[in-house]
Amino acid sequence: MIDLTEIQPRGVDRFETRRPVPPAKLDALSKEILALKKKLNAVILAHNYQVPEIQDVADFVGDSLGLSQQAARTSAYIIVFCWVHFMAETAKILNPGKIVVLPDKDAGCSLEESCPAPKLKALQDTSPNFWTIAYINCSAEVKALSDVICTSGNAVKIVNAAPKDRDLLFVPDENLGAWVMEKTGRPMTLWRGNCYVHVEWTHASIVRIRSQHPGAPLVAHPECTRAVRMLADEVCSTEKMVGYCRQSPAQAIIIATEAGMLHRLKKECPDKEFIPAPTDNCRCNECRFMKLNTLEKLYDCMANLAPRVELSEATLERARLPIERMLEISARP
Ligand code: 13P
Ligand code: SF4
């Protein structure tokens, strides 16, 4: 059980909890989680793809940029990160002295897997002029080898701010990298990794759903392939999808990203219809890593303060620099 001597007081965070669920509508386990959160002075950060019941008990739900910003500014001593492992690591890198726990330590990511640090180092060693931009979906060791981190929400800004005299190396998502090249006109060497979920949408599956809903705009994540992106009315991060859908006059909108996004969108825009873009195979729009996290595991990780993120001093120190550089560039007007 929890050793309460580890818990230190904190100030009051002003979290922008998006459309909180009234306590009366929460089930018994969710109420216990909220009570435990209060006792621990913990903060729960959750990604837009998490299952609805986790989103509903979180202090902040958002995309990787928003979650990084929240992790950087929280005064909570215990951070509960409901997403995949690399983001919990990011929170630890920004808060080396704090406790960071996650519901399931096996929640990984196909992008992270595609880019082992030794392989990246070997490529970097082939040219001293590389400037490495790493998508946040990578391990702490890869972050430690990088010059700057980006998310889908700020990748264009980060690439535009990169030194003009350096050769850009973008890892590990080739689709996000290709989209950023189109937007910035800046050539980059792309690592050959991808999100195994977002490459499931095909040109044919999107053409089919568009023909069934002729008036509905299509919003796609930049991790989708170019064949899908070229059919989209808007390509953006998950948080920007919320903004797009809020301001769109359309009553029905087709969404090409992980299925968890639908819960957030329905909460933010209750009067609109969201149509999940179908993949050619059943349930391929659910990330198996994201779905490892359940309400039960969330409760357990808070009750046991485990699993915890632990990283070496050297990795913590070296990986902080490119993340802080990202946050600084993102905050520029
Ligand atoms: P966002 O930062 O747009 O939420 O994307 C994160 C992600 O993992 C998409 O698969
Ligand atoms: Fe990684 Fe794709 Fe899952 Fe996001 S949806 S965590 S990019 S595998």
pLDDT at 1 over 50: no
Confidence at 278, pLDDT banded by 50, 70, 90: confident
Is 13's pLDDT higher than 70? no
pLDDT per residue over 128-171, tens digit each? Answer: 999 999 999 999 999 999 999 999 999 999 999 999 999 999 99
Distance 238 CA to ligand 1 centre (A): 6
pLDDT score at 25 = 74
Nearest CA to ligand 2 atom 3: 287
Question: 104 C-alpha to center of ligand 2: Å?
Answer: 15
CA–CA distance, 116 with 93 (Å, rounded to integer): 19
Whether 55 contacts 265, CB under 8 Å? no
Instruction: Over range 115-129, report the average pLDDT.
Output: 98
Find the angle CA(13)-CA(99)-CA(260) to the nearest 5 degrees: 70
298 CB-near residues (< 8 Å, 6+ apart) = 33, 44, 54, 57, 80, 82, 103
**Ligand minimally distant from the alpha carbon of residue 83:** 2
Ligand 1 atom nearest to 241, measured from its CA:
3
Is pLDDT of 282 > 80? no
Q: What is the mean pLDDT of residues 214-223?
A: 97
Distance 136 CA to ligand 1 centre (A): 9
Looking at residue 18, its pLDDT comes to 53
For atom 3 of ligand 1, which residue has the closest CA? 237
DSSP characters for 36-57? HHHHHTEEEEEETTS-HHHHTT
Model confidence at 15: pLDDT above 70: no
CA of 63 to the centre of ligand 1 (A): 6
With a 6 A CB cut-off, is 284 part of the ligand 2 pocket? no
Kindly report the CA angle at 282 between 281 and 284, in degrees rounded to 5? 75
Give pLDDT tens digits for 83-102.
999 999 999 999 999 999 99
